[in-house]
């Protein structure tokens, strides 16, 4: 349960002209870590790893898990079969091109819902060597075939943000006429800013009607995927697609957990995701994918609740003075560390933490020794190193 006592953001976020732009409907998340996330260069998940990650996503509260692209990967098909037996609460979705054979594989596996994608921008159509009329034909055939086999379809317009709006509307409506129940606005190469995303999502919502769920699927090529997803919610999207840790091709996908944090904390928009579980799931996915994360990454970074600076350590006893939300919200630990930038407050807090005692006269000398050691090693001191300095504080320091 999130309470205001855990969130310390600017009151400007609560201004009526800002809050009124958001609908009160709960935003839900469609996770594509196991498909689009695995497209991160060099990442390969085994079927068992996919099942393990799917269980983590389920516990996180993800509403839908995109289980893979079975037509092009036998391992994805194997993983989907395992996931179908795992009794997950989340819906399992497949991924298919607007190709009947792709849908047939979904039918064989027993999936009851899937994305069906097709390119829609002129530049993508040129790259594939197909016409607009051919796309419309393929979409109609694949979606109607899926409907005949009782598969719920969300139609996914590849490179939708660079598609002629008249043609994009035509494709979306054709997909719905063929049986698609949901629509995905897709910023395939992160080519839109937040204002453009909000405009497009609002347009699409008007085209398809208020009863049709609209998703947003964005990429982070300009570092704006979270902002774009928030803008999509302002525009009327009720589903956000993305990955854990923002993993994906190029600069990655939208990070669903960052988006959930921003929506909940900044705009008081209800989200269907357990923020207290995020850091644990992030680490499971990171280890399975065998990559490192930036220590300063929002929400899951190692440094977020770690304080080295003396000026900041002096405020450590009042978390809201130095943090925008409580570490308890995301089940993280706050800590004081010692390094070049530390001050006397760091020394006092670390001594208290470790149960060490020094006299007021020794504090300055201990701090000088800490700084000297940190500069020499170009990093932080371990608790053991600090304890050694304190133990020698009555004699030679260094």
322 falls in which pLDDT band (50, 70, 90)? very high
Q: What is each CA distance from 323 to 140, 258, 279, 303, 316, in whole angstroms? A: 51, 16, 17, 12, 10
- What is residue 45's predicted lDDT score, i.e. its pLDDT? 96
Residue-wise pLDDT for 169-192, tens only, equals: 999 999 999 999 999 999 999 999
Question: Cα(first)–Cα(last) distance of the chain, in Å?
Answer: 48
> 376 — phi, psi (to 5°)?
-65, -40
Helical (H) or strand (E) element with 267: helix 256-267
393 falls in which pLDDT band (50, 70, 90)? confident
Say if residue 2's pLDDT is above 80. no
Chain centre distance of CA 353: 34
Say if residue 396's pLDDT is above 70. no
Say if residue 395's pLDDT is above 70. no
- What is residue 398's predicted lDDT score, i.e. its pLDDT? 44
Please, which residues have CB within 8 angstroms of residue 47's CB and are 6 or more apart in sequence? 75, 78, 79, 82
251 falls in which pLDDT band (50, 70, 90)? very high
DSSP letters spanning 33-95: TTTTGGGSTT----HHHHHHHHHHHHHHT-SEEEEE-GGG-HHHHHHHHHHHTTT-SSEEEEE
Which domains occur in the chain, in start order?
Answer: 24-289 (3.20.20.70), 306-391 (no CATH)
Please say whether the beta carbons of 107 and 144 come within 8 A: no
How many helices and strands (H and E) does the chain possess?
Answer: 15, 10
Please say whether the beta carbons of 265 and 9 come within 8 A: yes
CA distance 22 to 170: 27
- What is residue 243's predicted lDDT score, i.e. its pLDDT? 98
Question: What does the block give as tokens for 246?
Answer: 């923002």
> 35 — phi, psi (to 5°)?
-120, -70
Q: How is residue 328 annotated by DSSP?
A: G
- What is residue 397's predicted lDDT score, i.e. its pLDDT? 44
392 falls in which pLDDT band (50, 70, 90)? confident
Percent share of the chain, pLDDT over 90: 95
Residue-wise pLDDT for 271-318, tens only, equals: 999 999 999 999 999 999 999 999 999 999 999 999 999 999 999 999
Q: What is each CA distance from 311 to 73, 318, 344, 382, in whole angstroms? A: 54, 13, 9, 20
């Amino acid at each position: 349960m999130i309470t205001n006592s855990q969130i310390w953001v600017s009151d400007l976020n609560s201004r009526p002209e800002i809050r009124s732009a958001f609908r009160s409907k709960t935003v839900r998340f469609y996770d594509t870590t196991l498909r689009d996330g695995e497209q991160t260069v060099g990442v390969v998940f085994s079927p068992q790893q996919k099942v393990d990650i799917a269980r983590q996503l389920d516990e996180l509260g993800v509403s839908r898990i995109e289980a893979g692209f079975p037509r092009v990967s036998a391992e994805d098909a194997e993983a989907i079969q395992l996931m179908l037996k795992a009794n997950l609460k989340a819906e399992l979705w497949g991924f298919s091109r607007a190709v009947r054979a792709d849908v047939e594989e979904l039918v064989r596996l027993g999936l009851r819902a899937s994305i069906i994608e097709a390119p829609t921008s002129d530049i993508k159509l040129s790259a594939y060597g197909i016409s607009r009329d051919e796309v419309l034909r393929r979409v109609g055939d694949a979606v109607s075939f899926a409907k005949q086999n009782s598969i719920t379809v969300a139609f996914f317009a590849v490179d939708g943000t660079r598609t002629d709006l008249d043609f994009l509307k035509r494709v979306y409506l054709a997909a719905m006429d063929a049986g698609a129940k949901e629509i995905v606005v897709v910023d395939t190469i992160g080519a839109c800013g937040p204002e453009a995303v909000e405009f497009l999502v609002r347009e699409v919502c008007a085209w398809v009607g208020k009863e049709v769920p609209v998703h947003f699927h964005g990429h982070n090529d300009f570092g704006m995927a979270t902002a774009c997803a928030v803008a999509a919610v302002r525009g009327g999207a009720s589903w956000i697609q993305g990955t854990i840790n923002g993993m994906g091709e190029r600069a990655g996908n939208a990070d669903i957990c960052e988006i959930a944090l921003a929506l909940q904390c900044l705009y008081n928009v209800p989200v269907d995701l357990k923020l207290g579980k995020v850091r644990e799931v992030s680490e499971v996915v990171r280890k399975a994918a065998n990559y490192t994360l930036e220590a300063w990454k929002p929400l899951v970074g190692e440094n977020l609740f770690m304080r080295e600076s003396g000026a900041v350590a002096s405020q450590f006893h009042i978390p809201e003075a130095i943090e925008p939300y409580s570490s308890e919200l995301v089940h993280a630990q706050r800590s004081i560390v010692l390094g070049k930038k530390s001050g006397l407050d760091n020394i006092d807090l670390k001594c208290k933490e470790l149960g060490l005692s020094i006299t007021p006269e020794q504090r300055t000398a201990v701090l000088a020794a800490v700084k000297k050691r940190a500069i020499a090693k170009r990093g932080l001191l371990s608790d053991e190193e600090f304890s050694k300095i304190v133990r020698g504080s009555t004699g030679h320091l260094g």
